[in-house]
Amino acid sequence: MCHPTSYGALRLVNDLPDVEVLPARGFATAMPDFRRWADGLGGKRMLLEDFYRRARVAHGVLVEGTDPVGGKWNLDHDNREPPPKGVTRLDVTDPWWPEEDEIDAQVREDLDRWERDGDVQFVGDDGPRRFAATRAEAVQALERFVTERLPVFGPHEDAMLQGDDWMAHSLLSAPMNLGLLDPLEVVQRAEEGHRSGDVPLASAEGFVRQVIGWRDYVWHLYWYTGEEYRHRNALQHKGKRRSGSPRLDDAEIGAACLSDVVGDVREHGWTHHIPRLMVLGNYAMQRGWDPLAVTDWFHRAFVDGYDWVMVPNVVGMSQHADGGLMATKPYAAGGAYINKMSDYCRGCRYDPRKRLGEDACPFTAGYWTFIDRHRDRFAKNHRMTQAVRGLDRLSDVAAVVEQEQARGSRAPDWPRQQVAQALVVVEHGGLRSPGHEHRGNGVRPDGGGRHDVVGQAVAAPGRHARGR
């Protein structure tokens, strides 16, 4: 059989008699090739950029010989634009959506029965299937993305809009993880779009970087760093680890960004990379939540949350718990970043410019408290010295820290219908946050599917719930 996708599955397979483990499929760079590259660095730091450029040349993607098309390997500078002003949605065609059939109905019936019988427990809303579950569907989703959405993808790939759950993203992570699309097939189709003149180079490069750069890099780090990597906790964060199901109570969240993102997870089991990193992960890291619990929450709540996906992305990238192996600095930011890259702060109860008071933004106050907590460590990191100098210029640091210690994992108390209420708690890594007006009256017409809290993907077509 092909190489399994988790350490637990690999142990199971290795214990079976007469089973040969074949090379992994679904990745551009082979595992032995990555190991040769990493071992050959001679103690130098592994860098995504080096790995990505090597993969581009090795697979002949967006290159002329050994040089990058357009003369630059990295066009990130062109792909970090905030959302266009005055819009609630990007001007782009909707993603390809599957049409449910009798198989979907049967799978839904099975899931309902399993839940009634107590075999599985689900989190999130039932709703229309949003991800390809067959090879034919996956090809249609890829074609729609390349021809109608990829041209718009690049500039705003890091942006967020409260009224646009999908922006111009591909929604191909789940079908790729299921083996319905090969990553080289995907990036070659994106390159065709660019060479035909339909897709700007920045959009094509940004997408290629995500697929044969970041996605492959995360897969290989998962195996290269060993099983103990998931237990790393360089910042010694121990906060709020509770048993039970992840909570997705966006109706009770006061901060507009948290409410919207948690609602997206509840409805779809999916958000794009910036809400995951800079809203959910940023919030958890600022409050010192146990990185293993945060990883577990992401694994349970997201439709593409395979173990190999979430361990490096959460432990390393999101929570900086590996001490800097994946990223040289923590991805922490205050409300100013969210205000720049989204429309969430307009009308939010909290003011991204304020760090003290009832309307102090939980991200702004949380950021300075986080920097203060790790001041000595960050003072030795050249990429964090500016943040430490900024902290030293604040005259109210002690008051901010005291305020955030009083909040704990709660946002500040504030009156809602004349009642002071605040509740941001984590349950087994889950989120439940300060009171907020509800996003809607139940499941939106474009809602996503349920996600169970037991284990791996349900082995049935036409449905993206996860089960035992």
- Tens digit of each residue's pLDDT (9 = 90 or more) over 179-231: 999 999 999 999 999 999 999 999 999 999 999 999 999 999 999 999 999 99
pLDDT at 449 over 70: no
259, part of any domain: yes
Q: What DSSP string runs through 394-408? A: -S-HHHHHHHHHHHT
181, part of any domain: yes
pLDDT at 239: 87
Contact 402, 396 (CB under 8 A): no
**If 0-12 CB within 10 Å is exposed, 13-18 middle and 19+ buried, where does residue 54 land?**
middle
379, part of any domain: yes
Per-residue model confidence as pLDDT tens digits over 243-268: 455 566 777 788 999 999 999 999 99
pLDDT at 50 over 90: yes
Q: What is the DSSP letter of 252?
A: G
178, part of any domain: yes
Arithmetic mean of pLDDT, 8-28: 96
Arithmetic mean of pLDDT, 162-174: 97
**Looking at the 3D structure of the chain, how many domains does it have?**
2
- The owner of tokens 């499941």 is 443
Does an H or E element contain 367, and which?
helix 362-373
Question: Of 295, 338, 234, 322, which is closest to residue 426 (Cα–Cα)?
Answer: 295
Q: What DSSP string runs through 61-121? A: -SEETTEEGGG-S--GGGG-PPPPTT-SS-SSPPPP-PPP-HHHHHHHHHHHHHHHTTS--
374, part of any domain: yes
Based on the fold, state whether residues 215 and 263 are members of the same structural domain: no
Based on the fold, state whether residues 301 and 191 are members of the same structural domain: no
pLDDT at 447: 34
Based on the fold, state whether residues 212 and 300 are members of the same structural domain: no
**Which amino acid, 394?**
L
pLDDT at 123: 86
Contact 173, 269 (CB under 8 A): no
Question: Of 431, 363, 333, 346, which is closest to residue 163 (Cα–Cα)?
Answer: 346
* CA distances to 24, 26, 43, 427 from 32, in Å: 10, 15, 18, 39
Question: Of 379, 364, 128, which is closest to residue 267 (Cα–Cα)?
Answer: 128
Based on the fold, state whether residues 335 and 412 are members of the same structural domain: yes
pLDDT at 423: 27
CATH code of the domain containing 312: 1.10.579.10
pLDDT at 340 over 90: yes
pLDDT at 164: 97
Per-residue model confidence as pLDDT tens digits over 109-167: 999 999 999 999 888 898 899 999 999 999 999 999 999 999 999 999 999 999 999 99
Based on the fold, state whether residues 262 and 184 are members of the same structural domain: no
Contact 10, 223 (CB under 8 A): no
pLDDT at 407 over 80: yes
Q: Tokens in use for 335?
A: 């409300």
pLDDT at 373 over 60: yes
Based on the fold, state whether residues 257 and 203 are members of the same structural domain: no
Arithmetic mean of pLDDT, 270-276: 97
Tell me which of 421, 447, 462 is where a domain ends. Answer: 421
Phi-psi region of 131 (alpha: psi -120 to 50; beta: other; left: phi over 0): beta
Question: Of 361, 381, 284, 329, which is closest to residue 389 (Cα–Cα)?
Answer: 381
Question: Of 349, 275, 329, 303, which is closest to residue 451 (Cα–Cα)?
Answer: 303
pLDDT at 425: 30
Contact 68, 56 (CB under 8 A): yes
301, part of any domain: yes
Based on the fold, state whether residues 315 and 172 are members of the same structural domain: no
Backbone φ and ψ of 155, nearest 5°:
-55, -35
Tell me which of 209, 224, 239 is where a domain ends. Answer: 224
Q: Tokens in use for 166?
A: 């999908």
Based on the fold, state whether residues 210 and 255 are members of the same structural domain: no
End-to-end CA gap in the chain: 21
- CA–CA separation, 382 and 275 (whole Å): 26
Based on the fold, state whether residues 178 and 314 are members of the same structural domain: no
Q: Tokens in use for 155?
A: 């500039």
pLDDT at 256: 95
- The owner of tokens 């705003």 is 156
- CA–CA separation, 208 and 202 (whole Å): 10
**If 0-12 CB within 10 Å is exposed, 13-18 middle and 19+ buried, where does residue 72 land?**
middle
- The owner of tokens 């449905």 is 463
Q: Which domain holds residue 82?
A: 7-95+130-224
Higher pLDDT, 58 or 250: 58
Contact 346, 359 (CB under 8 A): no
CATH code of the domain containing 207: 1.25.40.80
pLDDT at 439: 35
117, part of any domain: no
Phi-psi region of 338 (alpha: psi -120 to 50; beta: other; left: phi over 0): alpha
136, part of any domain: yes
Based on the fold, state whether residues 206 and 270 are members of the same structural domain: no
Based on the fold, state whether residues 306 and 173 are members of the same structural domain: no
Based on the fold, state whether residues 334 and 214 are members of the same structural domain: no
Tell me which of 170, 189, 224 is where a domain ends. Answer: 224
